[in-house]
Amino acid sequence: MPATENFRDGLLAAVPTLRAFAVSLAKNTDRADDLVQETLVKAWDKQDSFQPGTNLKAWLFTILRNEFYSQMRKRRREVEDSDGSITARLSVHPSQDGSSDLTDFRKALALLPEDQREAIILIGASGFSYEEAAEICGCAVGTIKSRVSRARARLQEILSVDGQSDFGPDAISTQVTNSALVA
């Protein structure tokens, strides 16, 4: 009889004792059956690592035990969400719109005159106060305020932004995301 047939026969002979051991560990017949199945699949996949002449049943029990503890560690990190309430709160707006908006903004920013671009980056992106930005640029605070104002107006024009509703996700994706949070 070829080695594969001997190995297969050994696996089949061990199933009842593997199942009994799995039930004692899992305390649930369905989980025990899953453990036995996973054990048999792993054993079949790794049969080349089994040393003929050694104890096949002990090797299989080791695989089953290791699989059981791996599943237990994994389950410890999982959160039960049978009613879907946690999942519903995880909804997010699609990122592709934000990515294309950022690309458009970068292109528009590059079209600004250097002094306006510098001022709006210092105030809007870097978080400096008008006074700090004026000191960095070596000009008056009023000059910085004027540059930022002109830069904002020009960006709105380039990006065709009319108001706050033109920012962020569109009305449909906002409605879908918000309804998922309420449900």
| pLDDT tens profile 74-109 | 887 777 777 777 776 776 656 666 678 788 888 998
Domains of the chain: 1-95 (1.10.1740.10), 97-183 (1.10.10.10)
Residues 6+ apart with CB under 8 A from 168: 93, 174
Q: What is the pLDDT of residue 97?
A: 64
CA dihedral (20, 21, 24, 30) positive or negative: negative
Q: What is the pLDDT of residue 99?
A: 78
pLDDT tens digits for range 8-41: 999 999 999 999 999 988 888 999 999 999 999 9
Top-confidence residue, 171 or 86:
86
Q: What is the pLDDT of residue 73?
A: 87
Q: What is the pLDDT of residue 1?
A: 43
Structure tokens at 4: 């594969």
Structure tokens at 106: 């970068």
On the CB side of 39, CA atoms within 13 Å amount to 30
pLDDT tens digits for range 113-170: 989 999 998 998 888 899 999 998 899 999 999 999 999 999 989 988 876 655 555 6
d(CA 104, CA 154): 14
Top-confidence residue, 52 or 94:
52
Q: What is the pLDDT of residue 175?
A: 61
Contact 40, 13 (CB under 8 A): no
What is the pTM for the complete model shown? 0.45
